[in-house]
Amino acid sequence: MKTEQLSFKYLAGIAIIFRLIFLFATPNLSQDFYRFIWDGRMLFNGFNPYLYLPETFIQQRNFPIPEAQELYYGMGELNGSHYTNYPPLNQLSFFIAALFAGKSIFWSAVVLRLQIIIADIGILYFGSKLLKNLNLNPKKIFWYMLNPFVIIELTGNLHFEPVMLFFLIWSLYKLQQQKWIFAGILLACSVTVKLIPLLFLPLFFQWFVKENKIKGIQKLFGFYAIVITTSLLLFLPFYSLELIENYMNSVGLWFKNFEFNASIYYIFREIGYLFRGYNEIAFIGKALPILTILFLIYLSLFRRNNSFKSIITALLFGLSFYYFTTTTMHPWYLATLILLSVFTKYRFPIVWSLAVILSYQAYANIPWKENLWFVAIEYSVVYGFLIWELKSTSQRSIKI
Protein backbone atom coordinates (compact mmCIF):
# COMPACT_ATOMS: atom_id res chain seq x y z
CA MET A 1 0.00 0.00 0.00
CA LYS A 2 2.80 2.40 0.89
CA THR A 3 4.54 1.70 -2.41
CA GLU A 4 1.31 2.40 -4.30
CA GLN A 5 0.85 5.70 -2.44
CA LEU A 6 4.41 6.78 -3.21
CA SER A 7 3.91 5.84 -6.84
CA PHE A 8 0.70 7.88 -6.99
CA LYS A 9 2.43 10.87 -5.39
CA TYR A 10 5.34 10.52 -7.79
CA LEU A 11 3.03 10.54 -10.82
CA ALA A 12 1.12 13.48 -9.38
CA GLY A 13 4.36 15.40 -8.93
CA ILE A 14 5.39 14.69 -12.52
CA ALA A 15 1.98 15.85 -13.79
CA ILE A 16 2.27 19.14 -11.89
CA ILE A 17 5.88 19.73 -12.94
CA PHE A 18 4.97 19.24 -16.61
CA ARG A 19 2.33 21.92 -16.22
CA LEU A 20 4.62 24.32 -14.39
CA ILE A 21 7.06 24.11 -17.33
CA PHE A 22 4.54 26.22 -19.27
CA LEU A 23 3.97 28.72 -16.46
CA PHE A 24 5.84 31.59 -18.11
CA ALA A 25 5.19 30.61 -21.73
CA THR A 26 3.12 32.66 -24.16
CA PRO A 27 0.49 30.55 -26.00
CA ASN A 28 1.39 30.16 -29.68
CA LEU A 29 -1.49 28.00 -30.94
CA SER A 30 -4.39 30.11 -29.68
CA GLN A 31 -5.34 33.78 -29.63
CA ASP A 32 -8.22 33.31 -27.22
CA PHE A 33 -6.25 34.40 -24.15
CA TYR A 34 -6.12 37.96 -25.48
CA ARG A 35 -9.91 38.03 -25.36
CA PHE A 36 -9.82 36.55 -21.85
CA ILE A 37 -7.60 39.39 -20.72
CA TRP A 38 -9.77 41.95 -22.54
CA ASP A 39 -12.96 40.70 -20.84
CA GLY A 40 -11.28 40.62 -17.43
CA ARG A 41 -10.02 44.17 -17.74
CA MET A 42 -13.39 45.39 -18.99
CA LEU A 43 -15.01 43.90 -15.92
CA PHE A 44 -12.30 45.29 -13.65
CA ASN A 45 -12.88 48.77 -15.07
CA GLY A 46 -16.64 48.63 -14.53
CA PHE A 47 -17.83 47.59 -17.99
CA ASN A 48 -20.21 44.72 -18.66
CA PRO A 49 -18.14 42.59 -21.09
CA TYR A 50 -21.31 41.14 -22.66
CA LEU A 51 -22.47 44.53 -23.95
CA TYR A 52 -19.47 45.86 -25.87
CA LEU A 53 -17.61 44.87 -29.02
CA PRO A 54 -13.83 45.32 -28.88
CA GLU A 55 -13.77 46.53 -32.48
CA THR A 56 -16.17 49.39 -31.68
CA PHE A 57 -13.72 50.87 -29.19
CA ILE A 58 -10.78 50.46 -31.55
CA GLN A 59 -12.61 52.01 -34.51
CA GLN A 60 -13.60 54.98 -32.36
CA ARG A 61 -10.05 55.33 -31.05
CA ASN A 62 -11.48 54.88 -27.57
CA PHE A 63 -9.30 52.73 -25.33
CA PRO A 64 -11.25 51.82 -22.16
CA ILE A 65 -8.63 49.43 -20.76
CA PRO A 66 -4.83 49.24 -20.61
CA GLU A 67 -3.18 47.84 -23.76
CA ALA A 68 -6.51 47.83 -25.61
CA GLN A 69 -4.90 47.99 -29.05
CA GLU A 70 -2.43 45.20 -28.30
CA LEU A 71 -5.20 42.97 -26.98
CA TYR A 72 -7.46 43.68 -29.96
CA TYR A 73 -4.79 42.92 -32.52
CA GLY A 74 -3.78 39.85 -30.51
CA MET A 75 -7.31 38.37 -30.44
CA GLY A 76 -7.82 39.11 -34.15
CA GLU A 77 -10.55 40.89 -36.06
CA LEU A 78 -12.90 37.89 -36.08
CA ASN A 79 -12.87 37.56 -32.30
CA GLY A 80 -13.01 41.31 -31.78
CA SER A 81 -16.07 41.69 -33.99
CA HIS A 82 -18.26 39.41 -31.85
CA TYR A 83 -19.68 39.73 -28.38
CA THR A 84 -18.08 37.55 -25.74
CA ASN A 85 -19.62 34.10 -25.21
CA TYR A 86 -17.75 33.17 -22.03
CA PRO A 87 -20.12 32.49 -19.08
CA PRO A 88 -19.95 34.26 -15.68
CA LEU A 89 -17.56 32.00 -13.73
CA ASN A 90 -15.20 32.08 -16.67
CA GLN A 91 -15.43 35.88 -16.53
CA LEU A 92 -14.52 35.68 -12.84
CA SER A 93 -11.28 33.92 -13.80
CA PHE A 94 -10.53 36.69 -16.27
CA PHE A 95 -11.30 39.29 -13.59
CA ILE A 96 -8.85 37.62 -11.21
CA ALA A 97 -6.13 38.00 -13.85
CA ALA A 98 -6.95 41.70 -14.20
CA LEU A 99 -6.96 42.09 -10.41
CA PHE A 100 -3.57 40.52 -9.77
CA ALA A 101 -1.66 41.14 -12.99
CA GLY A 102 -2.19 44.87 -13.39
CA LYS A 103 -1.46 46.16 -16.89
CA SER A 104 0.82 43.34 -18.04
CA ILE A 105 -0.37 40.91 -20.71
CA PHE A 106 2.44 38.53 -19.78
CA TRP A 107 1.56 38.39 -16.08
CA SER A 108 -2.14 38.16 -16.91
CA ALA A 109 -1.36 35.00 -18.86
CA VAL A 110 0.59 33.66 -15.88
CA VAL A 111 -2.34 34.27 -13.50
CA LEU A 112 -4.75 32.62 -15.95
CA ARG A 113 -2.45 29.61 -16.23
CA LEU A 114 -2.12 29.27 -12.46
CA GLN A 115 -5.90 28.98 -12.20
CA ILE A 116 -5.89 26.23 -14.83
CA ILE A 117 -3.12 24.33 -13.02
CA ILE A 118 -4.95 24.60 -9.69
CA ALA A 119 -8.12 23.31 -11.37
CA ASP A 120 -6.18 20.31 -12.73
CA ILE A 121 -4.93 19.56 -9.22
CA GLY A 122 -8.56 19.59 -8.12
CA ILE A 123 -9.42 17.17 -10.92
CA LEU A 124 -6.59 14.91 -9.74
CA TYR A 125 -7.95 14.98 -6.18
CA PHE A 126 -11.66 14.42 -6.81
CA GLY A 127 -11.07 12.23 -9.87
CA SER A 128 -8.94 9.77 -7.90
CA LYS A 129 -11.49 9.73 -5.04
CA LEU A 130 -14.32 9.00 -7.47
CA LEU A 131 -12.31 6.19 -9.04
CA LYS A 132 -11.81 4.65 -5.60
CA ASN A 133 -15.54 4.92 -4.88
CA LEU A 134 -16.23 3.09 -8.15
CA ASN A 135 -13.71 0.36 -7.23
CA LEU A 136 -11.39 1.42 -10.01
CA ASN A 137 -7.65 2.03 -9.82
CA PRO A 138 -7.14 5.70 -8.83
CA LYS A 139 -4.04 5.80 -11.03
CA LYS A 140 -6.34 5.76 -14.05
CA ILE A 141 -6.71 9.52 -13.51
CA PHE A 142 -3.23 9.88 -15.02
CA TRP A 143 -4.65 8.99 -18.44
CA TYR A 144 -5.84 12.58 -18.21
CA MET A 145 -3.22 14.19 -15.98
CA LEU A 146 -0.20 12.91 -17.95
CA ASN A 147 -1.71 13.13 -21.43
CA PRO A 148 0.70 15.34 -23.44
CA PHE A 149 -2.16 16.74 -25.50
CA VAL A 150 -4.01 17.85 -22.34
CA ILE A 151 -0.92 19.50 -20.88
CA ILE A 152 0.08 21.32 -24.07
CA GLU A 153 -3.39 22.32 -25.30
CA LEU A 154 -4.95 23.31 -21.97
CA THR A 155 -2.11 24.46 -19.74
CA GLY A 156 0.09 25.63 -22.59
CA ASN A 157 -2.53 27.32 -24.73
CA LEU A 158 -4.72 28.59 -21.88
CA HIS A 159 -8.04 26.90 -22.50
CA PHE A 160 -10.33 26.81 -19.48
CA GLU A 161 -11.70 23.28 -19.85
CA PRO A 162 -9.89 22.23 -16.63
CA VAL A 163 -11.90 24.73 -14.56
CA MET A 164 -15.13 23.45 -16.07
CA LEU A 165 -14.02 19.84 -15.56
CA PHE A 166 -12.98 20.48 -11.96
CA PHE A 167 -16.55 21.45 -11.06
CA LEU A 168 -17.97 18.63 -13.20
CA ILE A 169 -15.90 15.89 -11.54
CA TRP A 170 -16.56 17.34 -8.08
CA SER A 171 -20.27 17.33 -8.93
CA LEU A 172 -20.15 13.69 -10.10
CA TYR A 173 -18.27 12.74 -6.94
CA LYS A 174 -20.98 14.30 -4.76
CA LEU A 175 -23.77 12.84 -6.87
CA GLN A 176 -22.26 9.37 -6.47
CA GLN A 177 -22.40 9.99 -2.71
CA GLN A 178 -26.14 10.81 -3.06
CA LYS A 179 -25.49 14.47 -2.14
CA TRP A 180 -27.51 15.71 -5.10
CA ILE A 181 -28.24 19.24 -3.83
CA PHE A 182 -24.56 20.18 -3.56
CA ALA A 183 -23.92 18.24 -6.78
CA GLY A 184 -26.48 20.44 -8.56
CA ILE A 185 -24.77 23.62 -7.36
CA LEU A 186 -21.39 22.33 -8.54
CA LEU A 187 -22.80 21.30 -11.91
CA ALA A 188 -24.18 24.83 -12.32
CA CYS A 189 -20.69 26.16 -11.62
CA SER A 190 -19.39 23.88 -14.37
CA VAL A 191 -22.07 25.14 -16.77
CA THR A 192 -21.19 28.76 -16.03
CA VAL A 193 -17.58 28.13 -16.99
CA LYS A 194 -18.47 26.31 -20.24
CA LEU A 195 -22.04 25.60 -21.35
CA ILE A 196 -21.32 22.06 -22.56
CA PRO A 197 -22.38 20.23 -19.32
CA LEU A 198 -25.97 21.29 -20.04
CA LEU A 199 -26.03 18.37 -22.49
CA PHE A 200 -25.62 15.98 -19.56
CA LEU A 201 -28.81 16.93 -17.71
CA PRO A 202 -31.14 14.37 -19.38
CA LEU A 203 -28.68 11.54 -18.76
CA PHE A 204 -29.15 11.58 -14.99
CA PHE A 205 -32.78 10.44 -15.32
CA GLN A 206 -32.31 6.76 -14.49
CA TRP A 207 -29.90 7.47 -11.65
CA PHE A 208 -32.63 9.35 -9.79
CA VAL A 209 -35.59 7.09 -10.59
CA LYS A 210 -33.93 3.66 -10.32
CA GLU A 211 -35.40 2.84 -6.87
CA ASN A 212 -38.51 4.92 -6.31
CA LYS A 213 -39.99 6.54 -9.41
CA ILE A 214 -42.15 9.16 -7.68
CA LYS A 215 -39.52 10.30 -5.19
CA GLY A 216 -36.85 9.91 -7.85
CA ILE A 217 -38.64 12.19 -10.29
CA GLN A 218 -39.15 14.74 -7.51
CA LYS A 219 -35.42 14.68 -6.76
CA LEU A 220 -34.59 14.83 -10.46
CA PHE A 221 -36.63 17.97 -11.02
CA GLY A 222 -35.21 19.40 -7.82
CA PHE A 223 -31.74 18.71 -9.19
CA TYR A 224 -32.62 20.38 -12.48
CA ALA A 225 -34.10 23.36 -10.64
CA ILE A 226 -30.91 23.80 -8.61
CA VAL A 227 -28.71 23.65 -11.71
CA ILE A 228 -30.83 26.11 -13.70
CA THR A 229 -31.53 28.50 -10.82
CA THR A 230 -27.88 28.63 -9.72
CA SER A 231 -26.77 29.20 -13.31
CA LEU A 232 -29.25 32.06 -13.74
CA LEU A 233 -28.19 33.61 -10.43
CA LEU A 234 -24.57 33.62 -11.60
CA PHE A 235 -25.64 35.39 -14.80
CA LEU A 236 -27.76 37.87 -12.82
CA PRO A 237 -25.01 40.47 -12.09
CA PHE A 238 -24.59 40.88 -15.86
CA TYR A 239 -28.28 40.86 -16.73
CA SER A 240 -29.78 43.12 -19.36
CA LEU A 241 -32.01 42.57 -22.38
CA GLU A 242 -29.00 43.28 -24.57
CA LEU A 243 -27.05 40.53 -22.81
CA ILE A 244 -29.59 37.89 -23.82
CA GLU A 245 -29.61 39.01 -27.46
CA ASN A 246 -25.84 39.42 -27.70
CA TYR A 247 -25.09 36.14 -25.96
CA MET A 248 -27.54 34.11 -28.05
CA ASN A 249 -26.13 35.63 -31.23
CA SER A 250 -22.57 34.75 -30.20
CA VAL A 251 -23.48 31.18 -29.27
CA GLY A 252 -25.50 30.83 -32.48
CA LEU A 253 -22.41 31.54 -34.56
CA TRP A 254 -21.09 28.07 -33.68
CA PHE A 255 -24.05 26.49 -35.45
CA LYS A 256 -24.42 28.66 -38.56
CA ASN A 257 -21.08 30.32 -39.28
CA PHE A 258 -18.02 28.50 -37.94
CA GLU A 259 -16.53 25.37 -39.48
CA PHE A 260 -13.45 23.50 -38.31
CA ASN A 261 -12.28 19.89 -38.05
CA ALA A 262 -15.82 18.59 -38.44
CA SER A 263 -16.75 15.01 -39.18
CA ILE A 264 -20.30 14.10 -40.22
CA TYR A 265 -21.09 17.74 -40.94
CA TYR A 266 -18.45 17.88 -43.67
CA ILE A 267 -20.11 14.88 -45.35
CA PHE A 268 -23.49 16.61 -45.26
CA ARG A 269 -21.85 19.79 -46.51
CA GLU A 270 -20.45 17.98 -49.54
CA ILE A 271 -23.88 16.50 -50.26
CA GLY A 272 -25.28 20.03 -50.08
CA TYR A 273 -22.69 21.24 -52.57
CA LEU A 274 -23.56 18.32 -54.87
CA PHE A 275 -27.32 18.90 -54.96
CA ARG A 276 -27.71 22.61 -54.16
CA GLY A 277 -24.38 24.04 -55.27
CA TYR A 278 -23.63 25.96 -52.09
CA ASN A 279 -22.84 25.51 -48.40
CA GLU A 280 -25.95 24.56 -46.40
CA ILE A 281 -24.48 25.37 -42.97
CA ALA A 282 -27.43 27.61 -42.04
CA PHE A 283 -29.73 24.57 -42.33
CA ILE A 284 -27.38 21.71 -41.43
CA GLY A 285 -25.94 23.59 -38.44
CA LYS A 286 -29.43 23.85 -36.94
CA ALA A 287 -30.48 20.30 -37.82
CA LEU A 288 -27.49 18.45 -36.34
CA PRO A 289 -28.15 19.60 -32.72
CA ILE A 290 -31.62 18.05 -33.09
CA LEU A 291 -29.96 14.71 -33.81
CA THR A 292 -27.89 15.16 -30.66
CA ILE A 293 -31.02 15.83 -28.60
CA LEU A 294 -32.69 12.70 -29.99
CA PHE A 295 -29.60 10.62 -29.21
CA LEU A 296 -29.50 11.99 -25.65
CA ILE A 297 -33.17 11.09 -25.21
CA TYR A 298 -32.39 7.57 -26.42
CA LEU A 299 -29.50 7.24 -23.95
CA SER A 300 -31.65 8.63 -21.14
CA LEU A 301 -34.72 6.44 -21.63
CA PHE A 302 -33.70 3.26 -23.43
CA ARG A 303 -30.16 2.53 -22.27
CA ARG A 304 -29.58 1.01 -18.84
CA ASN A 305 -27.97 3.77 -16.75
CA ASN A 306 -28.73 2.46 -13.28
CA SER A 307 -25.10 2.26 -12.11
CA PHE A 308 -22.81 5.22 -11.81
CA LYS A 309 -20.25 3.71 -14.18
CA SER A 310 -22.94 3.32 -16.82
CA ILE A 311 -24.03 6.94 -16.29
CA ILE A 312 -20.52 8.21 -16.95
CA THR A 313 -20.36 5.97 -20.03
CA ALA A 314 -23.60 7.59 -21.20
CA LEU A 315 -22.08 11.04 -20.64
CA LEU A 316 -19.07 9.97 -22.71
CA PHE A 317 -21.12 8.72 -25.66
CA GLY A 318 -23.66 11.52 -25.51
CA LEU A 319 -20.95 14.18 -25.74
CA SER A 320 -19.04 12.15 -28.34
CA PHE A 321 -22.12 12.09 -30.57
CA TYR A 322 -22.37 15.87 -30.30
CA TYR A 323 -18.71 16.30 -31.22
CA PHE A 324 -19.02 13.84 -34.11
CA THR A 325 -21.86 15.91 -35.57
CA THR A 326 -20.83 19.47 -34.69
CA THR A 327 -19.72 22.01 -37.30
CA THR A 328 -16.73 23.06 -35.19
CA MET A 329 -14.50 20.63 -33.31
CA HIS A 330 -11.59 22.49 -31.76
CA PRO A 331 -8.89 20.16 -30.37
CA TRP A 332 -9.25 21.32 -26.76
CA TYR A 333 -12.88 20.15 -26.67
CA LEU A 334 -11.46 16.63 -26.36
CA ALA A 335 -10.41 17.23 -22.75
CA THR A 336 -13.90 16.38 -21.46
CA LEU A 337 -14.01 13.10 -23.38
CA ILE A 338 -10.53 12.16 -22.21
CA LEU A 339 -11.45 12.71 -18.57
CA LEU A 340 -14.79 10.89 -18.80
CA SER A 341 -13.13 7.93 -20.51
CA VAL A 342 -10.95 7.42 -17.42
CA PHE A 343 -14.04 6.12 -15.59
CA THR A 344 -15.11 3.79 -18.42
CA LYS A 345 -13.80 0.87 -20.45
CA TYR A 346 -13.34 3.01 -23.55
CA ARG A 347 -10.12 4.59 -24.78
CA PHE A 348 -11.09 6.07 -28.15
CA PRO A 349 -10.77 9.64 -26.75
CA ILE A 350 -7.12 8.85 -25.92
CA VAL A 351 -6.57 7.73 -29.51
CA TRP A 352 -8.40 10.85 -30.70
CA SER A 353 -6.05 13.03 -28.65
CA LEU A 354 -3.23 11.65 -30.81
CA ALA A 355 -5.07 11.79 -34.14
CA VAL A 356 -6.38 15.33 -33.57
CA ILE A 357 -2.84 16.63 -34.05
CA LEU A 358 -3.55 16.31 -37.78
CA SER A 359 -6.04 19.18 -37.47
CA TYR A 360 -3.17 21.52 -36.53
CA GLN A 361 -2.15 21.44 -40.19
CA ALA A 362 -4.69 24.20 -40.82
CA TYR A 363 -2.74 26.61 -38.59
CA ALA A 364 0.36 26.17 -40.75
CA ASN A 365 -1.33 27.81 -43.74
CA ILE A 366 -1.44 31.56 -44.30
CA PRO A 367 -4.24 32.31 -44.93
CA TRP A 368 -5.78 29.64 -42.71
CA LYS A 369 -7.03 26.62 -44.68
CA GLU A 370 -7.89 23.03 -43.85
CA ASN A 371 -6.69 20.03 -45.82
CA LEU A 372 -9.67 17.67 -45.77
CA TRP A 373 -7.43 14.66 -46.39
CA PHE A 374 -5.89 15.22 -42.96
CA VAL A 375 -9.38 15.51 -41.46
CA ALA A 376 -10.39 12.27 -43.20
CA ILE A 377 -7.35 10.43 -41.83
CA GLU A 378 -8.01 11.75 -38.32
CA TYR A 379 -11.60 10.53 -38.22
CA SER A 380 -10.81 7.26 -39.98
CA VAL A 381 -8.45 6.44 -37.12
CA VAL A 382 -10.95 7.55 -34.46
CA TYR A 383 -13.97 5.77 -35.94
CA GLY A 384 -11.93 2.68 -36.70
CA PHE A 385 -10.74 2.39 -33.11
CA LEU A 386 -14.22 3.18 -31.74
CA ILE A 387 -15.82 0.44 -33.86
CA TRP A 388 -13.15 -2.02 -32.69
CA GLU A 389 -13.84 -1.11 -29.04
CA LEU A 390 -17.59 -1.44 -29.47
CA LYS A 391 -17.20 -4.86 -31.06
CA SER A 392 -14.80 -5.98 -28.34
CA THR A 393 -17.08 -4.93 -25.51
CA SER A 394 -20.10 -6.42 -27.29
CA GLN A 395 -18.32 -9.74 -27.46
CA ARG A 396 -17.81 -9.54 -23.70
CA SER A 397 -21.59 -8.90 -23.34
CA ILE A 398 -21.07 -5.34 -22.12
CA LYS A 399 -23.62 -2.92 -23.47
CA ILE A 400 -22.61 0.68 -24.01
Of 22-26, 242-246, 363-367, the one with minimum mean pLDDT is 363-367
Which residue segment(s) compose the domain that 370 sits in? 246-395
Is pLDDT at 4 greater than 80 in this prediction?
A: no
Question: Is residue 181 in some structural domain?
Answer: no
Question: Is residue 336 in some structural domain?
Answer: yes
Question: Is residue 128 in some structural domain?
Answer: no
Question: Is residue 193 in some structural domain?
Answer: no
Question: Is residue 54 in some structural domain?
Answer: no
Domains held by the chain: number: 1
d(CA 139, CA 145): 10
Structure confidence by residue, pLDDT tens digits, 220-237 = 999 999 999 999 999 999
Is pLDDT at 2 greater than 70 in this prediction?
A: no
Is pLDDT at 207 greater than 70 in this prediction?
A: yes
Question: Is residue 327 in some structural domain?
Answer: yes
The CB density around residue 129, as the number of other CB atoms within 10 Å, is: 17
Structure confidence by residue, pLDDT tens digits, 166-189 = 999 999 999 999 999 999 999 999
Is pLDDT at 357 greater than 50 in this prediction?
A: yes
**pLDDT class for 241, splitting at 50, 70, 90?**
confident
Structure confidence by residue, pLDDT tens digits, 266-290 = 998 888 877 776 667 777 878 888 9
d(CA 158, CA 105): 13
Average of per-residue pLDDT across 46-69: 94
Question: Is residue 328 in some structural domain?
Answer: yes
Is pLDDT at 400 greater than 50 in this prediction?
A: no
Of 224-228, 256-260, 377-381, the one with minimum mean pLDDT is 256-260
Cβ-Cβ contacts under 8 Å for 219 (sequence gap 6 or more): 180, 208
Average of per-residue pLDDT across 391-400: 65
Structure confidence by residue, pLDDT tens digits, 117-155 = 999 999 999 999 999 999 999 999 999 999 999 999 999
The neighbouring-strand residues paired with 394 are: none
pTM of the model: 0.94
- 265, 288 contact by CB (below 8 A): yes
d(CA 44, CA 37): 10
Task: Identify the pLDDT of residue 291.
Answer: 93
Q: Over pLDDT 70: what percentage of the chain? A: 94
More confident residue, 344 or 271: 344
Is pLDDT at 3 greater than 50 in this prediction?
A: no
The overall average pLDDT reported for the chain is 92
Question: Is residue 366 in some structural domain?
Answer: yes
Task: Identify the pLDDT of residue 1.
Answer: 47
